[in-house]
Amino acid sequence: DQQVKQNSPSLSVQEGRISILNCDYTNSMFDYFLWYKKYPAEGPTFLISISSIKDKNEDGRFTVFLNKSAKHLSLHIVPSQPGDSAVYFCAASAGRTSYDKVIFGPGTSLSVIP
Amino acid sequence: NAGVTQTPKFQVLKTGQSMTLQCAQDMNHEYMSWYRQDPGMGLRLIHYSVGAGITDQGEVPNGYNVSRSTTEDFPLRLLSAAPSQTSVYFCASSYSGDPEAFFGQGTRLTVV
């Protein structure tokens, strides 16, 4: 059973609009969450993270929101650009060190249409 | 800095063959790991290492061996390849205090 779920395999958004990528988790021990971005034929690259002591973290056009009671987080991209077209992985860990195993979701493929 | 380097990028194996996927990092990271990516499954942890001489199993370790003799290198060995090991493999590394990982470009492995 997947502990980290991304129920939308794909998403299409018009350039300039907001992209919202959703992620749900089942393990209440998870307290640190990450988003990675992956282009074809490349490895994932770290995008943004959030600790469970926060409910929002912002980095430029990217904002992650965390709703602990719902075990749900979302990544907002505003405004969306064609270069944002990629697969986005949500990931979670029970702890904020690299020794804590990170569990990845299946990914959401975002297409930003010019 | 080259970051995390994986070789080869592509490989086709016959069932029962063995091979080693190479991974090297030049960032002096203590933590290194191997993932496999399969459609609809995300990235699943195979093995990881918290430092030279120390390795441990991840979520899907069966059929794979690892060793860590140096900080820089973390090879992944397939002892007897099976079609179920057809996947894209990623090596990653990070500082010991950070879960944010740096990934290699991946190795696409096909077992026929």
State whether the Cα torsion B81-B84-B86-B90 is positive or negative.
negative
Please answer whether residues B68 and B49 qualify as being in contact, where contact means their C-beta atoms are separated by less than 8 angstroms.
Answer: yes
DSSP A101: P
Contact B101 A97 (CB under 8 A): no
Distance CA A94, CA B79 (A): 32
What residues of B are in contact with residue A45 (Cβ under 8 Å)? 103
Buried b / exposed e along A52-83 (16+ C-beta atoms within 10 A): eeeeebeeeebbbbbeeeebebbbbbeebeee
Instruction: Identify the weakest region by mean pLDDT among A97-101, A108-112, B10-14, B22-26.
Output: A97-101
Least Cα separation, residue B107 to chain A (angstroms): 9
Segment A91-110 shows an average pLDDT of 84
The pLDDT value recorded for residue B2 is 80
User: Per-residue pLDDT for B1 more than 70?
Assistant: no
Taking only the tens place, the pLDDT of each residue in A71-99 is 999 999 999 999 999 999 999 988 766 55
Distance, CA of A66 to chain centre? 10
Distance CA B82, CA B50 (A): 28
The pLDDT value recorded for residue A25 is 97
Least Cα separation, residue B36 to chain A (angstroms): 11
Contact B42 A96 (CB under 8 A): no
Cα-based angle B92, B45, B7 (whole degrees, multiple of 5)? 45
B55 and A CB contact within 8 Å: no
Average model confidence (pLDDT) across chain B: 94
Instruction: Identify the weakest region by mean pLDDT among A42-56, A86-100, B17-31, B65-79.
Output: A86-100
Choose the mutation target among B23, B35, B43 for the interface with A, i.e. most A CBs under 10 Å.
B43
B5 and A CB contact within 8 Å: no
What residues of A are in contact with residue B98 (Cβ under 8 Å)? 97-98
State whether the Cα torsion B23-B28-B29-B30 is positive or negative.
positive
Taking only the tens place, the pLDDT of each residue in B47-89 is 999 899 999 998 899 999 999 999 999 999 999 999 999 999 9
- Tell which B residues from 68 to 87 touch A, by Cβ distance under 8 Å: none
What residues of A are in contact with residue B94 (Cβ under 8 Å)? 98
Contact A102 B104 (CB under 8 A): no
DSSP B83: G
The residue of chain A with its CA nearest to that of B96 is: A98
Q: Are strands A86-93 and A108-113 parallel, antiparallel or unpaired?
A: antiparallel
Write the DSSP string, A68-95: TTTTEEEEEESS--GGG-EEEEEEEESS
Contact A43 B106 (CB under 8 A): yes
The pLDDT value recorded for residue A74 is 98
φ, ψ of residue A56 to 5 degrees: the values are -155, 140
B37 CB-near residues (< 8 Å, 6+ apart): B43, B44, B87, B88, B89, B90, B106
The pLDDT value recorded for residue B99 is 79
Contact B105 A49 (CB under 8 A): no
The pLDDT value recorded for residue A100 is 63
